[in-house]
Amino acid sequence: MEVNKRSGVYHRTTIDDAKAGEIRDVSSRGISEYTQRRTLALTPTPTSNPLLELSHPSYGLPEELVHNFATLGIRSIYPWQAECLLRSGALNGERNLVYSAPTGGGKSLVADILMLKKVIETPEKKALLVLPYVALVQEKVRWLRRVVEGITKKPADSDNKQRNSLWRKRGDEENVRVVGFFGGSKSKATWADLDIAVCTIEKANSLVNSAIEDLTVGKLGVVVIDELHIINDDSRGYILELMATKLLSLEQNIQLVGMSATLNNPEVLARWLDNARFYISKYQPVPIEEHLVFDNTVYPAASSSRFYKTATQLNAQTQTQIQMSSQPRPEPCRIILPSPNKEFKDPLINAVVSLANETARAGHGALVFCSSRAGCERDAILISQVLPRVEEVDAGTMDRRRDLLSDLRSTSTGLDPVLEKTVPVGVAFHHAGLTIEERDLIATAYDNGVIKVIVATCSLAAGINLPARRVILHGARMGADLVGPSMLRQMKGRAGRKGKDEIGETYLCCQKSDLEAVTELMEADIPTVESGLMPGKRGIKRALLEAIATGLVTTVEAVHDYMEKTLLYHFIDNDELDNMVKETLHDLEETGLTRTDDCTLHATLLGQATVASSLTPEDGLFVHKELRKALEAFVMDGEMHVLYSFTPIQAVQGNVNWQMFRNEVETFDESNLRALNLIGLKPAVINRMAQGGSLKESTPEERQIAQVYRRFYAALQLRDLCNEMPIYAIARKYDIPRGHVQNLAQTCHGFAAGMIKFCERMNWGALAAVLDHFSDRLKAGAKADLLALTKIPYVKSRTARIFWENGFKTVAAVAMADTKDLLPVLLIAQPRKPRLDPVNEKKYHDKLLAKAGIISEYANKIWERQMQLELDEE
């Protein structure tokens, strides 16, 4: 499809009259809960059980909160939720809690009730909710703010018997405040500014460290860890264990709650969390029917054993085996006829496209999971070619899709050419290569029914909540490797939309070569959650350093007591644990991170700086070495040295383009070449790599040198960002997804703040001041002359430069301008686009005019605040 620049009409260019393979039922499914719910809703109701009403006195929730939940579609709870809340002792804060329920089974509501009850009833206490991904944090913050709208905390001197009347809004009470903390966020909120903190894993650990150090951790009332199975993650999971262990070590009444859809050993986790109660629910409010699709044939897979039997028989059905075997061939429930188009000749592609087509034409939503970003875009195009043409779509839906295109076109990166082709017929892709703005727009459009099919990488399954009537897996791989059992369950768990669908379906489309591996995957148990501090893993060094630096332990005996609070203690022999502790304490002291004075353990300045900046001990030593060199000679007449200092240590995603690296270095002036030399990089090595050489990485020293080169390469991208090059241009220049560029910018914000803290703790005030001065440019993505303008929403980087060049050089100038005068400037700042038809061009201009209004409004607020500050200083 493409847009006719004169008419603005979308039409197809790739395949004329493309048709998906027709799907036919070939056997009766029989009567089941699934088939019954096609016509009859069977979700439990409070009619026969009053405890399923959220307003029941047993929960003690204020009327306003119950009303807000009802407004958001939650009027009652499931029996398992009621039992978990009332019988565990968690509702009254008496016990810690570990619980598991299937995806979509209502886990989050239990935690929401526990947190809200705590902060409303005990206004001096705070709640901490830990989530694994930034997207989940942002989504949860939006949800909780809607839940607590108008809700006020219970006055400290109120009588419990008059709970409902006293919880009504009064002018002298404060509302419940929800604040998000994640990598790129600018929030500097303290306990006094919030009631519920929603955090990524790293931010939560940092908050707990700070609270222990400044003796405010007693304000914490409840800590909820979502996706508790993430403890198994090799790169980040151990940080969850560190955080929870520190809280368990305190003599504070802090309730710990852990939940997950994929827990294989909740009893061990419950013992670890101070003999918490554990609860397991297998209830699914929406029944799911599962299928295996192979060679254009659909087989029922109602259970893993049925799936295993079906797939094993299919894999054995060579002609000889058929003749020798007495086992009948598995009976299919549906067949997919071949498509007449050669593009769909591959049975796997034909199945994926046909199943997505059937779902969308029936008016339902489909999620298609692919193994790669390129695969997502390819499948999105193929699926879009078989869906109803634009002229067949109703006018209202078409208008909303045009609005989505207009919103995508208005982003800083402009409209993606693939999305431009697929969105008009209701298809989009979603992966890490897109910017956050693009992903949010697409997810919202899908949730609202504007987009019918999203093709996504596996990361979507865990990173955002987008359920579907039908989940289609294009294979079961993540890149070249099969997904794990937990990820497979996460993907399949997206099927079924409570409140929109009464049923859900999954179709795992598989090719012959993967059948055996997929059957093993389907039969595989969910991995047992074990400690991230186990021998061979890096977590224990950080665990002990943080415990010492925050003052939780001061003696070797206290260290052993502390280790008994870890999850590791439940997995390892005591003698082995003692040896690990002894070796780790020796290593920390040998590397200068800790010291022992009269049998008392202390963190050195370096150790304190490492913990304060949220670095691992290994990364802290690396940063210390790099910044020590900077102290001896720091290049301040250029920007590369400071930008290198702000670049995260593991910043490069993908391979280094050494030819591009060489080309950039060849343009360096004398100042940047000095920085290159002081950091320890050699142009001759870069030139050799550009000619096909390779970096040796067989020893720790060689790996560290390679790390410096890669980090400097990422700093080049950061330099372009700070010099107002648009994200899409940087992505094209370095041949990387634009989402990766944006992610670099966001992670750099948090890392830069960490580097400033590091220097402050090391008493390197001058270097901290230099870095702090440059951090504003990093946040703005602009040169120093634009910093004031970039404080206005929507006026960042290149847009700020366009404003400057068109006479709007100050916030006051923007504030005093008419919004109509800002529109031409915004039009210039937008990425290039083909001219639309008059109607859609006007809609596009209207959107930009609305954005101009927001810019003008905030510019006025900033200007008024500046004027007031000036008056106060006189």
- Model pLDDT for residues 274-310, shown as the tens digit of each residue: 999 999 998 888 888 888 888 888 988 765 556 666 6
What distance in Å separates the CA atoms of residue 803 and residue 717, rounded to the nearest whole number? Answer: 24
The pLDDT confidence band at residue 28, using thresholds 50, 70 and 90, is: low
CATH homologous superfamily, domain 2-16+286-523 = P-loop containing nucleotide triphosphate hydrolases (3.40.50.300)
Distances (CA, A) of 217 to 199, 411, 526: 16, 41, 35
Nearest CA to 754 out of 161, 206, 61 is that of: 206
- Taking 70 as the threshold, does the pLDDT of residue 46 lie above it? no
- Taking 50 as the threshold, does the pLDDT of residue 215 lie above it? yes
For residues 540-561, average pLDDT = 94
Within 8 A by CB and 6+ apart from 526, the residues are: 229, 262, 263, 264, 485, 486, 489
Residue with tokens 């068109």: 806
Rg (alpha carbons) of the chain, rounded to whole number: 29
Is the distance from CB of 200 to CB of 181 less than 8 angstroms? yes
CATH homologous superfamily, domain 50-280 = P-loop containing nucleotide triphosphate hydrolases (3.40.50.300)
**Whole-model pTM?**
0.84
Q: What is the mean pLDDT of the chain?
A: 85
What distance in Å separates the CA atoms of residue 729 and residue 732, rounded to the nearest whole number? Answer: 5
Residue with tokens 């590369």: 640
DSSP string, 14-72: S-TT--PPPEEE-S---S-HHHHTTT------TTS-GGGBTTSTTT---HHHHHHHHHT
Q: How many residues does the chain have?
A: 874
The pLDDT value recorded for residue 316 is 64
What distance in Å separates the CA atoms of residue 631 and residue 194, rounded to the nearest whole number? Answer: 38
The pLDDT value recorded for residue 187 is 58
DSSP string, 787-836: TTGGGSTT--HHHHHHHHHTT--SHHHHHHS-HHHHHHHHHHHSPP----
> In percent, how much of the chain has pLDDT > 90?
43
Is the distance from CB of 289 to CB of 302 less than 8 angstroms? yes
CA angle 427, 431, 432 (to 5 degrees): 155
Nearest CA to 119 out of 225, 220, 217, 195 is that of: 195
Please give the torsion angle defined by the CA atoms of residues 702, 704, 706 and 708, in that order, rounded to the nearest 10 degrees.
-150
The pLDDT value recorded for residue 29 is 57
- Taking 60 as the threshold, does the pLDDT of residue 760 lie above it? yes
For residues 653-678, average pLDDT = 91
Is the distance from CB of 729 to CB of 413 less than 8 angstroms? no
Amino acid at 95: R
The pLDDT value recorded for residue 516 is 75
The pLDDT confidence band at residue 63, using thresholds 50, 70 and 90, is: very high
Tokens of 575: 């003698």
What per-residue string of b and e applies to 80-117 under the rule 16 or more CB within 10 Å gives b?
bbbebbeebebbebebbbbbbbbbbbbbbbbbbbbbbb
Burial of 275 per CB tally in 10 Å (0-12, 13-18, 19+): exposed
The pLDDT value recorded for residue 829 is 82
Within 8 A by CB and 6+ apart from 462, the residues are: 132, 133, 227, 487, 490
For residues 224-251, average pLDDT = 91
The pLDDT confidence band at residue 172, using thresholds 50, 70 and 90, is: very low
What distance in Å separates the CA atoms of residue 332 and residue 313, rounded to the nearest whole number? Answer: 12
- Taking 70 as the threshold, does the pLDDT of residue 13 lie above it? no
Nearest CA to 467 out of 476, 456, 478, 475 is that of: 456
The pLDDT value recorded for residue 769 is 85
- Taking 90 as the threshold, does the pLDDT of residue 552 lie above it? yes
Least confident of 155-159, 192-196, 453-457, 738-742: 155-159
Tokens of 157: 């001197």
For residues 652-680, average pLDDT = 91
What per-residue string of b and e applies to 278-312 under the rule 16 or more CB within 10 Å gives b?
bbebeebbbbbbbbbbbbbbbbbbeeeebbbbbbb
Q: Which CATH class is domain 617-781?
A: mainly alpha
The pLDDT value recorded for residue 330 is 72
For residues 646-652, average pLDDT = 83
- Taking 90 as the threshold, does the pLDDT of residue 144 lie above it? yes
Nearest CA to 148 out of 189, 108, 196 is that of: 196
For residues 138-165, average pLDDT = 74
For residues 106-127, average pLDDT = 94
What distance in Å separates the CA atoms of residue 418 and residue 189, rounded to the nearest whole number? Answer: 40
For residues 192-208, average pLDDT = 92
**Top-confidence residue, 486 or 393:** 393
- Taking 90 as the threshold, does the pLDDT of residue 837 lie above it? no
Largest Cα separation within the chain, whole Å, is 98
The pLDDT confidence band at residue 41, using thresholds 50, 70 and 90, is: very low
- Model pLDDT for residues 763-798, shown as the tens digit of each residue: 998 888 888 877 777 777 777 778 788 888 888 777
The pLDDT value recorded for residue 169 is 42
The pLDDT confidence band at residue 130, using thresholds 50, 70 and 90, is: very high
For residues 526-533, average pLDDT = 86
The pLDDT value recorded for residue 830 is 77
Least confident of 94-108, 110-124, 160-174, 736-750: 160-174
Beta-strand (E) ranges in 433-519? 453-457, 470-474, 477-478, 481-482, 504-510
Please give the torsion angle defined by the CA atoms of residues 413, 415, 419 and 423, in that order, rounded to the nearest 10 degrees.
130
For residues 391-410, average pLDDT = 88
Is the distance from CB of 567 to CB of 98 less than 8 angstroms? no
Tokens of 300: 């029922």
Q: What is the 3-state secondary structure (H, E, C) of 192-212?
A: HHCCEEEEEHHHHHHHHHHHH
The enclosing H or E element of 512 equals none
Is the distance from CB of 295 to CB of 512 less than 8 angstroms? yes
